[in-house]
Amino acid sequence: MLNAYEVNTLVYDPELCNGCAMCVAVCPHAVFEMDGRLAKLTNAQACMECGACQLNCVTGAIAVESGVGCAAAMIRAALTGQKEVICDC
């Protein structure tokens, strides 16, 4: 596994896009771009799975298993047997 971040859980269905451009506005890594009247997934590899686009997509065109990419929190959750990842950040 040379690059653990090459793939992610982001899925986009352009058929459902209504062109509101919310995904373009909320994404901190410019994963989406407007292509005419529809959003286009142009930089999927940069997705950090924060979930902002999914949550703000009215038509449900975007799906992503969102979460925080923090090893420290996940290790703590594993050690304490908690399901939910909690941290003090």
Q: Which residues pair with 71 in a beta bridge?
A: none
Asked whether the beta carbons of 58 and 18 are under 8 A apart, the reply is yes
Q: Any contact of residue 63 with another protein (CB under 8 A)?
A: no
Please list, in sequence order, all residues whose beta carbon lies within 8 angstroms of the beta carbon of residue 20, skipping any fewer than 6 positions away.
58
Q: Any contact of residue 5 with another protein (CB under 8 A)?
A: yes
Which listed residue (11, 42, 55, 82) binds another protein by CB under 8 A?
55
Binding mask 9-48 for another protein (x = CB under 8 A): x------------x-xxxxxxx---------------xxx
